[in-house]
Structure 1
C-alpha cells in the first residue's frame, strides 16, 4: 500500500515593521524566508512564536508582491476575546511569527468584479498590487462592504488605484463617497453591467454563499465565481 505524505514546511520570521491601518487593523511587514514563494491572493497559516501560542495557527493572506524582499500581512484584530488576533495586535517589532507554506484558491483568472466583506478584502490587495505593477489593473472593479466608514481597510489606496471602479458600501451609516445598504441581488443588478465576466468573492461564509447564489441567478457562470473553498 502506498501512502502520499504531504510535508509542510514551517518558517520563523521576525516582524520588521507594524503600521496601524484602521482602528482595529494593522499591517505587519515580516522577514521573507529564503526561497519562499506564493501567488497573489494566496495565504498561509500563521502562529505567534511564543510557548502558549505556537500551536494556534490562523490563515492570513499575503498583501505584498511575490518578488518583494519581505512578506506583508494586513490583519484585523478582534479584541473582544483573547484569541490570536488580539495577541497579534499586542506584538512589537522584533517579535517572531511561525509561517507554513503558501496555499489558497483565490487567484486571478482575468478582469472582473471583486466583492469583499470586511477583512475578506485582503486576498484582493496582493492581486491588485500585482496587476498595478504590470499596468493591468484597469477594467477590474472592487465592491467593498463594511459596517462604517472607519472600518474600510486601505480606502485611500483603493480610491487612488481603482478610481470610479471602487464602490464602498456601508451597512450601518451614511457617509459621503459611500453607498449605504448591503450587497444583495438588487445591488448587484444595479451596479454590475456584465455578468459574463469573472467574479471574485471573499468575506464571511454566509455573505460568500448568498452573493455567489445571487450572481448565478443573475447569469454568472458557476466556474467564473472564485472564492475560498
Structure 2
C-alpha cells in the first residue's frame, strides 16, 4: 500500500454505517466519485484491502469515507466498527470510472450511494441540481444513508425505495424494468449506477432495454 494514515474520527451515521475522517497524504489527488484500496493497519488485516470511495472533496484538507459495516461477514467492514481515532489505515492510489459527467439519474443500492455523496455535494455547492434525480434502494428505512441531507437539497429529486419493510410507504420490489419505467421519463440522459454487482447488472440491462445508451451508463469498469 502506498500511504499509511491516521484516523482523526470515526462516527456512526446509521445503525451500521460509519463516517471516517483521516489525514490526507500529500499528492493524493482524485475526482469526486473515485475510490481507493483501503486496508486496516493491524496484524492479520494489512493484506485484506478493499475498495472504498472517498466522500470528501478533492480540495478538502482531510480525507473522509462513509463505510457500511457488515458484522455477519467477519471481514474488513466488520472491523471498521471497531476502529477509532488514532488507529491507522493504509491507502493505495485513487482509481475509478464513476465521475461527474453532467446531470442525470443517480441509481444507488445500499452502500452504493458512496460515490454519489461527493458528486451530489459538489453540485450542492454550485447550486446545480438541474435534471438530477436520486433513486436510492435499501432494505429498510433505517438503512437509508444521509436521507435528511438528500431531502434537504433544493432541486434534487429524490426517490427512496425499501425492499424488506412491508409497512413502509416506500416499500417496493427490487429495482426492475417496470419500476424504472415509472420513475424515469427520459432514457437519453446520463445514468450513474452503483450498488451490489447483481443489482448493477440487472438495472443496467433494464436501462438499456428501456432505451438508455451504453455510453451514458456510468458505473465501475467491469460491473
Separation in 1 of the partners of 2:192 and 2:25? 29
Structure 2 counterparts to residues 153-164 of structure 1, below 5 A? 153-161=145-153
Q: Which sections of structure 2, spanning at least 5 residues, go unmatched? A: none
Q: Which runs of 5+ in 1 are unaligned?
A: 1-8
Partner of 1:47: 39
1:147 alignment partner in structure 2: 139
Cα deviation digits, residues 166-214 of structure 1 (max 9, x gap)? 1000101246663533321011111101100000111111111111111
Q: 1:179 to 1:110 in 2, by over 3 A?
A: farther
Could you say which residue in structure 2 is the equivalent of 1:97? 89
Query: Rg: which structure is higher?
Result: 1
Q: Which has the higher mean CA deviation after the structures are superposed, 103-112 or 180-189?
A: 180-189
1:33 pairs with one of 25, 29, 38: 25
1:72-111 → structure 2 map (5 Å cutoff): 72-111=64-103
Residue matched to 2:112: 120
- Return structure 1 stretches of 4+ with deviation > 4 angstroms: 174-177
Q: Distance in 1 between matches of 2:80 and 2:11?
A: 12
Give the aligned partner of residue 21 of structure 1. 13
Q: What SS class does the counterpart of residue 114 from structure 2 fall into?
A: helix
CA distance in 1: counterparts of 2:180 and 2:193, whole angstroms: 13
Q: Give the deviation of 1:164 after TM superposition.
A: 6.2
Measured in 2, the distance between the counterparts of 1:151 and 1:177 equals 15
Separation in 2, partners of 1:205, 1:36: 28
Matched, 1:129 2:121: yes
| 8 Å Cα contact 1:77-1:85 kept in structure 2 | yes
Q: 1:207 maps to what in 2? A: 199
Question: How far, CA to CA, are the matches of 1:66 and 1:32 in structure 2?
Answer: 10
Q: Secondary structure at the match of 2:72?
A: coil
Aligned to 2:218: 226
Deviation at 1:136, TM superposition (A): 1.5
Is the alpha carbon distance of 1:179 and 1:192 closer, same or farther for their aligned partners in structure 2, counting shifts above 3 Å?
A: farther
SS of the residue 1:74 aligns to: strand
Q: Is the 8 A contact 2:129 2:155 kept in 1?
A: no
How many aligned positions are there?
Answer: 221
RMSD: 1.5
1-structure distance, mates of 2:166, 2:192: 26
TM-score (norm 1): 0.92
* Aligned partners of 2:109 and 2:136 also within 8 Å: yes
Over residues 42-100 of structure 1, what are the superposed CA-to-partner deviations in whole Å (9 max), with x where a residue is unaligned?
00000011122111100000111111100000000111132111111101111001001
TM-score for both structures, normalised by structure 2: 0.94
Note if contact 1:167-1:179 (Cα within 8 Å) is conserved in structure 2: no
Cα distance, 1:158–1:179 mapped onto 2, change above 3 Å: farther
CA distance in 2, matches of 1:226, 1:187: 20
